[in-house]
Homo-oligomer: A and B are copies of this chain.
Amino acid sequence: MALIRARMFSKCLRRPVRFTAVVPYDGMFLPPREGRPFKTMYLLHGYMGNNSTLQLEGWPVGEWAQRFDLAIIMPEGENHFYVDDLARRDFYGEFIGRELVAMTRRLFPLSDKRGDTVIAGLSMGGFGALRNGMKYSDVFGHVISASAANVRDELASSTDEPNAVGATRGLFTSIFGDLDRVEETDRSLDGAARELASSDRPRPDIFFGCGENDVLKFPNRHFRDTLVSLGIEHEYSEAPGTHEPAFFIPFITRGLERALPALPEAPNPFLIDKD
């Protein structure tokens, strides 16, 4: 199992970016993986986080990598919702959907098949997974979104006063552009879904959901309704829980089980079946 921290230059962002990768190369007890491209999950963190947040919260990325024979790539989104900032020309969306995929496929032996390529995330990263999974559906065959921060109401109601997470209308405008028109653009989930519906791009397999005790379930239900009205297939799921790792992590596991076959468990030399 390789753990890789990479710093590479991004033309989309005009500066070095970092990502962490877990790649299920062979270990002591694993057969070699030579000659076989890996399935891949691009996993996007939430607002006020970076890729270390997943580490602090105990995301079992090595377990997933081994169980699903899966490379996991964790980039950073810098509170930018993984959408292009047109005023600054900081292309956070294109970075995820194009440049990062190209970088990592050059660096690791990754499959370039849509069906082997997953985009996933939680909260702001769940927003980014849905948005970029729809926009770059030629790349990503599966979308797994836990508790997406579909912040349409927050954008509409934002003011010059910082909200609970320090965001103002100025910040949101810098990220999303003209807030009165953002729903018309692919920087909103509804806009990205309409664009997908009217395009001839392939439809990704979309699995998303939210905790029953999470205020974000309302905008997630709104987006479900949008997909229904547009005729875009998807699976939406609610379960007990709120906006926390104890909900996010099993949700992503469910999404992986749904999207990818699991390998048989490796033999455990310590196991005794009975006493």
A78 interface contact, C-beta 8 A: yes
How far apart are A56's CB and chain B's nearest CB, in angstroms? 3
CB under 8 Å from chain B, chain A span 1-26: 1-9, 11, 14-16, 22, 25-26
A226 interface contact, C-beta 8 A: no
A34 contacts across to B, CB distance below 8 A? 106
Bound complex: CA A238 to CA B108 (Å) = 42
A268 interface contact, C-beta 8 A: yes
A263 interface contact, C-beta 8 A: no
Interface locus among A128-136, A138-146, A159-167, A181-189:
A159-167
Bound complex: CA A61 to CA B7 (Å) = 15
* Size of the chain A interface, CB-CB below 8 angstroms: 74
Interface locus among A213-221, A227-235, A254-262:
A213-221
A56 contacts across to B, CB distance below 8 A? 1, 3, 22, 60-63, 65
Instruction: Decide if B212 touches A7 in the complex (CB within 8 Å).
Output: no
Instruction: Decide if B11 touches A2 in the complex (CB within 8 Å).
Output: no
Given A170-B89, A213-B271, A269-B164, residue A16 in contact with residue B243 (CB < 8 A)? no
The 5 closest A-B pairs by CB, nearest first: A56-B62, A58-B60, A243-B270, A3-B7, A87-B170
For the complex with contacts A2-B107, A16-B53, 5 further pairs of A-B residues with Cβ separation under 8 Å are A1-B9, A2-B8, A9-B48, A15-B78, A107-B108
